[in-house]
Amino acid sequence: MFETAMKKNSKNGKNNDEQARNFSRQFLYALLILMALAALYSTIAGSLENKKEISLSDVVAKINAGEVSEISVLDSELTVKMKNGETLQAQKEQETGFTETLKNYNVDPGKLKDVKVQIQTRGFMNTLFGVIVPIMGPVVLIGFFIWFMARQVQRGSMQALTFGQSRARLINPEDGKDHVTFKDVAGVKEAKEELKEVVDFLKNPKKFLDIGAKIPKGVLLMGPPGVGKTMLAKAVAGEAGAPFFYMSASEFIELFVGVGASRVRDLFKLAKKAAPAIIFVDELDAIGRIRGAGIGGGHDEREQTLNQILVEMDGMETNDRIIVLAATNRPDVLDPALLRPGRFDRRVVLDLPDINDRVAILEIHSRNKPVEDDVQLRVIAERTPGFSGADLANLVNEAAISAAREDRKKVGQTDLINSIEKVMLGPERKSHILSPEEKKIAAYHEAGHALVATSLIHADPVHKVSIVSRGRAAGYTLKLPSEDRHMYTRSHFLDEMASALGGYAAEKLVFGELTTGPSDDLQKAAAVARSMVMRFGMSDKIGPSVLGEREEMIFLGRELTTERNYSEETARLIDEEVKHLIDNAYSRAREVITSRRKKLDAIAEYLIEHETIERHDFETLVKEREV
């Protein structure tokens, strides 16, 4: 029953473009039918009327003169065929018979005998085209147009009525294609454990209700983008065999105040009809931000929508058997009212996958792709720390695309390895050709990064250095942590900052001149320094305080962040400390480069010649690692 309701909804949700196209198509049909009818009518009418009309007395005169060969009579119409082949038309009175009329006009009975007289009755077609079509035709056409216009108007008003209906997409348990289960989601063990309870409740609520347990109404899935929040929510529905209503929070909101709230009501109504069911609200932070934090209006709609969600969740009875799952990557900006018990009181955190999870995710996504026997997914997983599930899915897909492009039937290890960089940095831009001078600068710049990174023990090891453009970068030094990291130390930050400034230091030292190349590096180093001072308490002078509370507002659709809860004096101190850290990092980078200048030249020359250097060759080139 609600399936039809959903279908109706999706129908109403058709966009205006499609309707405009439909309208013009129907208009064209109507016009064609009209033209065809007109053409038909005119031929028939033409065939009826294209005859010469004469008076009755003339007919009699012609009979008397012996010129007529045949007369056919149809009602009051006489069709007179002359001996010379001509056909004439005449009218008689309706009431009087044909012979009687001729008698009244003194026809010569002798001559009349020679004329073949046919009395006809109207056939169906003749009646249709001679009588009905001329009268009814215009009426029918006008009627058709009125109906056609009325339909269009009605459709418009229907749309206005369904404006407030929810536009949720529905995945039914019977839909084989979209059926996701926990098996399809790799890793995220704790999240799965937590959600298994939800599945259990949807399947046998009695067990929980009998013991007086209250089942959570809402579960909030938190985690960075692409870690599988949506997928996990779908899997809950798939495991429980319950319908899954999917809607992104921003889809509630329209220009008009009240529409969002009405859509929320409608969504919950639909879900209740379909219970047990899962409602999934993606990107909850789009409406769930802290209320009253906006300037410049436009917030009423968002707040009303949020309020309506809260109201609906409060009104939900345990035996409604609906569970609201929501996803966000910004739990920090959510309104506290959403998080209190009885609403989204369960919170499930999804982390970026660790190495074993990455292997599992890669396995899942290469399941339906033919791969070479020598493919080692663990090697790929080792090289992809920090990748999300979505990145890994994308990586496998890119590898398959590149194999197919080269007409190979199976995906090889090299395809996968090459896709790592493609996913990280964008596709290679081989056409982006550097002049010999630029190439030299780029080579020294990247060599600077790589040499500093490899010389400092707390920096991530170098995996690859290249001066082939990729995405926006003219060259890159690929550094990857040797294992998954969940915490960062002060020493790591200091070494990373120094290696970020390695390119700058190399350019300055070798060429005595600077380019725009290091601008990104400078920004990165400054951001790390500022975070160290203001967020992590890693500066001696400032100590363990967090400065600059983040307060976010939305103004005309843009996020404004204000971060000022300290005095002018502290501000100056922060700037000093940031500068101190950056200067320090720079002098360390310069020191490495000056003392190992020969190595720098060796790496740069290798790069100028080969453009890319892999980890193994790089390490033999640099050899020892300084502590």
Residue 15 CA: distances (Å) to CA of 20, 26, 287, 309: 9, 17, 24, 26
Nearest distance from C-beta of residue 20 to ligand ADP, angstroms: 33
Q: Which is nearer to ligand ADP, 187 or 243 (CB)?
A: 187
> Is 194 assigned a catalytic role?
no
CB atoms within 10 A of CB 480: 18
Among left, alpha and beta (phi > 0; psi -120 to 50; other), residue 514 is beta
Q: Which is nearer to ligand ADP, 156 or 225 (CB)?
A: 225
Residues in the chain: 627
Window 107-126: residues binding ligand ADP (CB under 6 A): none
- Would you count residue 187 as binding ligand ADP (CB under 6 A)? yes
Q: Which residue is nearest to ligand ADP (CB)?
A: 389
In angstroms, rounded to a whole number, what is the distance separating the alpha carbons of residues 528 and 517?
19
**Binding ligand ADP by CB under 6 A: which of 327, 380, 497, 498?**
327
Residue among 260 and 353 whose Cβ is closer to ligand ADP: 353
The verdict on 186 binding ligand ADP (CB under 6 A) reads yes
Decide: is 188 part of the binding site for ligand ADP (CB under 6 A). Answer: yes
Whether 111 and 63 have beta carbons less than 8 Å apart is answered as yes
How far apart are alpha carbons 359 and 570 in whole angstroms? Answer: 47
Task: Name the segment binding ligand ADP (CB under 6 A); options: 168-176, 226-234, 247-255, 439-447.
Answer: 226-234
Phi then psi dihedrals of residue 325, to 5 deg: -105, 140
CA distances from 349 to 5, 224, 548, 625 (A): 35, 9, 26, 39
Residue 15, phi-psi category: left (phi > 0), alpha (psi -120 to 50), beta (remainder) = beta
Contact 260, 303 (CB under 8 A): no
**Total binding residues toward ligand ADP, as defined by CB under 6 A:** 17
**Among residues 625, 606, 623, which one has the least CA distance to residue 446?**
606
Helix (H, G, I), strand (E, B) or coil at 621: helix
Q: Does 68 bind ligand ADP (CB under 6 A)?
A: no
Catalytic one among 446, 496, 507, 577? 446
- Give whichever of 287 and 327 is closer to ligand ADP, judged by the CB atom: 327
Nearer to ligand ADP, 243 or 353 (CB): 353
Span between the terminal Cα atoms of the chain, in Å: 71
Which member of 216, 218, 226, 448 binds ligand ADP (CB under 6 A)? 226
Tell me: does residue 362 bind ligand ADP (CB under 6 A).
no
Q: How far is the CB of 397 from ligand ADP (least distance, A)?
A: 9
Under the criterion CB under 6 A, does residue 179 sit at the interface with ligand ADP? no
Identity of the residue, 195 or 361, whose beta carbon is nearer to ligand ADP in the bound complex: 361
If one asks whether residue 389 binds ligand ADP (CB under 6 A), the answer comes out as yes
Position 614: which residue type? Answer: E
Decide if residue 390 touches ligand ADP (CB under 6 A): yes
Contacts to ligand ADP by CB under 6 A: 185-188, 225-231, 327, 361, 364, 389-390, 393
Q: Which residues are catalytic?
A: 446
